[in-house]
Structure 1
Amino acid sequence: MVEVAVLAPLFITFLAALLIAMRIQHGGAVVSQAAADAARRASIVRTAAQARTEATSSALATLHERGLHCAPDVKLDLSGYARPTGQNAIVTAQVTCRVQLADIALPGMPGARTVTKTHRSPIDPYRGR
């Protein structure tokens, strides 16, 4: 009985820490996929304005489909669209999302964790304008 009373809180703390680590890992993977999707989608359209719209909607769709409910911040570097058609350029997408942990955290553990991922994709050099 004494052993159970001593070990049970340690086991519960270990399980909570394991669940938090898994949720952070899953959140990081989903945010990374959202950044990759946003960068890829932005790199295949013709204009920077269209790239911004497509990238943001793509990131939101990926997060929603993968079950990560957060209000993401999508930042894009579309300066490559200023280069003439035919020259190499890249687009960069950075997605930041706050992964909620409050439902599994114990007192003293964090209630949320911010995850930021960045991805780059080459802009189609033969895009039409």
Structure 2
Amino acid sequence: MTRPPSHRRAPARFRGAAGNAVVEAAILAPLLVLFLAGLLTGARLQRAAAAVSQAAADAARQASIARTPTQARTAATTSALTTLRDKGLHCTPQVHLDLAGFNQPVGQPGAVSARVTCTVRLADIAAPGIPGSRTVTKTHRSPLDRFRGRD
């Protein structure tokens, strides 16, 4: 008696391969998880770098429009902290300013620069080989108006 075509036996080359899919999944699943963790880490660092860069640019601009170095320091620090908070980056930043441009006499070109450093937490990603944190530093310069009075 012949079997209907739907009940034909698998060719010999496919017999015994039923467990291969489980083994392949067991090997590939951790690699996929590591790949996704790497993507998440890269995206978080890219977002942090953009936020820190914007904070440095804002701090330099605020320092450049201030009248005195003291006002520049206060305005730049406040601006950097506000920008990082608005961008949703949770870190304790360090703002370093170069205010030497304020020492230039009126009529001479001068500039100020702001360097913002922020440590980004990565520990919550929890994948092997990914560090617990990464430090991101960005610097921006902004020119001082050469004909504006400086105190």
**TM > 0.5:** yes
Task: Specify the alignment match of 1:118 in structure 2.
Answer: 139
Is residue 2:84 matched to residue 1:34?
no
Task: Specify the alignment match of 1:127 in structure 2.
Answer: 148
User: Where do 4+ consecutive residues of structure 1 move more than 6 Å?
Assistant: none
Please show how residues 1-129 of structure 1 align to structure 2 within 5 Å.
Answer: 1-129=22-150
1: CA distance, partners of 2:146 / 2:94? 28
- Asked if 2 retains the 8 angstrom alpha-carbon contact of 1:45 and 1:127, the reply is no
Residue 47 of structure 1 and its aligned partner are, at CA, apart by: 0.6
Residue 127 of structure 1 and its aligned partner are, at CA, apart by: 2.2
- Asked if 2 retains the 8 angstrom alpha-carbon contact of 1:20 and 1:105, the reply is no
Paired residues, number: 129
> What are structure 2's unaligned runs of at least 5 residues?
1-21
TM-score, with normalisation over the residues of structure 2?
0.83
Aligned-residue identity in percent: 64
Residue 110 of structure 1 and its aligned partner are, at CA, apart by: 0.3
TM-score, with normalisation over the residues of structure 1?
0.96
Q: Tell me the C-alpha RMSD between the 2 structures.
A: 0.9
- Asked if 2 retains the 8 angstrom alpha-carbon contact of 1:85 and 1:127, the reply is yes
Q: Which has the higher contact order (CA 8 A, sep 6+)?
A: 1
